[in-house]
Amino acid sequence: MAQLITFVITPLALLVMVLSGLFPAGASAVMGLINLLSQGLFGVLAWLEHSVPQSQLAPPPTGSIGLAVLGVAWFLMPRTWPARFLGLILCLPAVLYRPPGLMQGQAHSWILDVGQGMAVVIQTAQHTVLYDAGPAFGASDAGARTVLPALRALHVGALDQIIISHQARDHAGGLLSVRAAFGAAPIISGQPLRDIATRPCVDGATWAFDGVRFTLYQAEVGWHAQKGDNNRSCVLRVQDDNGSLLLTGDLEAIAEQDLIRRHDLTADWLYVPHHGSKTSSSPEFLAAVQPKMGLISAGALNQFGHPHPVIVARYQAAGIPLINTAYVGAIEIIDGQVRGYRARQWPFAWRI
């Protein structure tokens, strides 16, 4: 493929530049040949994309990649170079690498950096849950652009459960791309989704994966008190041996009040409801949840002004520190620790 572009298409494109002023008809003929070659090339690439399974292997550590580069260089040396086969041995650490597994009762959660939207991956020792699938607006699809690459990077071969908080496009938009890759995954949703089979979010439903407890909540009020479906958000609480994470979708104040009246929602880490909108994070809700930290998924310089300054001040007044994907990239929660991905990868990565 690369040879076709380098040795055929690129020289022909340069020839078109030369001929365009001297012999336009010839330039047009060469351009037609370039179009045919390009269509054939992209046709083959499209066939490969749909015919060859995508890799679900996690990227190897930087050190093993360095060894592999050295090994390839060693192997490609002239035949007189001594022990060229040793180059292949240097490639083995990168080829054979598998990320370390999780222990029983341990959860590893990622709030992905999907911009103005939400997508969270929760892994246990043998299972993976996806909460929301990121936004999709027109040609911009965070499901394909961010969620699927993140799942591959995390070595996820199958999704055991998908939970969609509600049908808003910034939460459910990327679901079509995710379903194309993980079609067998069952889906729970806070409200019915168009043309997609789902099970309802049952308030109080609970199950365990590998010693990690998952519990669903849904408000009984507020669905029709205002325009929109934010208060139908299916809330998820994840409890492992190191703490608890509460994922709230776009929950707003009236639904918050209903849930804290009927349930114990205390959690160590709170996903700030509705990206930090001023309609959410009521003082009573924060007092009931008592989080150690608030986690925000919002787009940098987003048009909604999320998180709203009033809400930021409310968390600060309550002594709850905030961390925002807009500034730190994907947020990782593991072993009782919360950290941003971007700072660990600078200057080589911006989003996971």
pLDDT in tens, 113-168: 999 999 999 999 999 999 999 999 988 999 999 999 999 989 898 999 999 999 99
Phi, psi torsion values for 229, nearest 5 degrees: -125, 20
pLDDT digits (tens, 9 = 90+) for 325-347: 999 999 999 999 999 987 766 55
Q: How confident is the model at residue 60 (pLDDT cuts 50, 70, 90)?
A: confident
Supply the pTM of this predicted model. 0.81
Average pLDDT over residues 235-256: 97
What is the distance between the alpha carbons of residues 29 and 282, in angstroms, rounded to a whole number? 67
3-state helix, strand, coil in the chain (%, to 5): 40, 20, 40
Average pLDDT over residues 15-30: 87
On whether the CB atoms of residues 269 and 244 are closer than 8 A, the answer is: yes
pLDDT (0 to 100) of residue 266? 98
Q: Is the pLDDT of residue 351 over 50?
A: no
pLDDT (0 to 100) of residue 94? 86
pLDDT (0 to 100) of residue 346? 56
What is the distance between the alpha carbons of residues 266 and 49, in angstroms, rounded to a whole number? 45
pLDDT digits (tens, 9 = 90+) for 186-205: 999 999 998 899 999 999 99
pLDDT (0 to 100) of residue 225? 47
On whether the CB atoms of residues 243 and 269 are closer than 8 A, the answer is: yes
Q: Is the pLDDT of residue 304 over 80?
A: yes
- Both tokens of 124, joined, read 């246990």
pLDDT digits (tens, 9 = 90+) for 166-179: 999 999 999 999 99
pLDDT (0 to 100) of residue 260? 97
What is the DSSP pairing of strand 128-133 with strand 119-123? antiparallel
> In the chain, pLDDT over 90 holds for what percent of residues?
64
Q: For residue 214, what are the β-bridge partners? A: 207, 238
| DSSP symbol at 144 | I
What is the distance between the alpha carbons of residues 192 and 166, in angstroms, rounded to a whole number? 8
pLDDT digits (tens, 9 = 90+) for 87-114: 889 888 888 888 788 999 999 999 999 9
pLDDT (0 to 100) of residue 227? 53
On average, the pLDDT of the chain sits at 91
What beta strand segments (E) does the chain contain?
108-111, 119-123, 128-133, 136-137, 140-141, 161-164, 187-189, 199-200, 206-209, 212-217, 235-240, 243-247, 269-271, 293-296, 322-324, 331-334, 337-340
